[in-house]
Amino acid sequence: MPFERSRSRVLAAVAALGLMTTPVTSASADGHDQGPALLQCQGTESVAYSPGFTFQPRPFQVTTEGRFVSCVDAGGKVKSGTYGESFSLFAGCDDLLDGFTGRRTFRWSTGDASVAEIGGDSTAVAGQVVTTITGKVVEGRFEGRTVVEIIALPQPNALQCLTTGFTGATGVTTLTIT
């Protein structure tokens, strides 16, 4: 499902921050073990914009690709994961920080997946666009659990925004599911 605007301007970039908590397990309403109540992953996210966006707002395609190379869960099963989306936006260099909603599918090294309904907001901090995504897993592994992902990408370069356009960035990301 593509990301949807929650305001007139939209975010196209996303961030990373380690969140440490204690793993716990719990049972579902029918008494079956739901597995680990915590997953902690670190990795990278790459975002490509086509055509590159400039100060003049215009439509462009956004493609995200996330890779978690190091995951720890309470059950010791999930070791890594990936996600990716492609969607269209209408924005410019000056209006990338508005909120968004959508769905993100995380695919795990175990062969299964988690589908989360998410929302996010971004801020510009020290030359980076930091995006905090929160939501809930609505399907698959970790269903019913809370998702927090933080992604940090380099802020668009003013020169690129004035000329050919900002075409992509890669940064760090941290995911926590509790």
pLDDT given at position 110 = 96
- Alpha-carbon separation of residue 157 from 124, 128, 178 (angstroms): 12, 10, 36
Name 66's bridge partners.
45, 83
pLDDT given at position 146 = 96
* Mean pLDDT of the 94-105 span: 82
- As a dihedral over the C-alpha atoms of residue 5, residue 6, residue 10, residue 12, rounded to 10 degrees, the angle is -80
* Mean pLDDT of the 128-135 span: 93
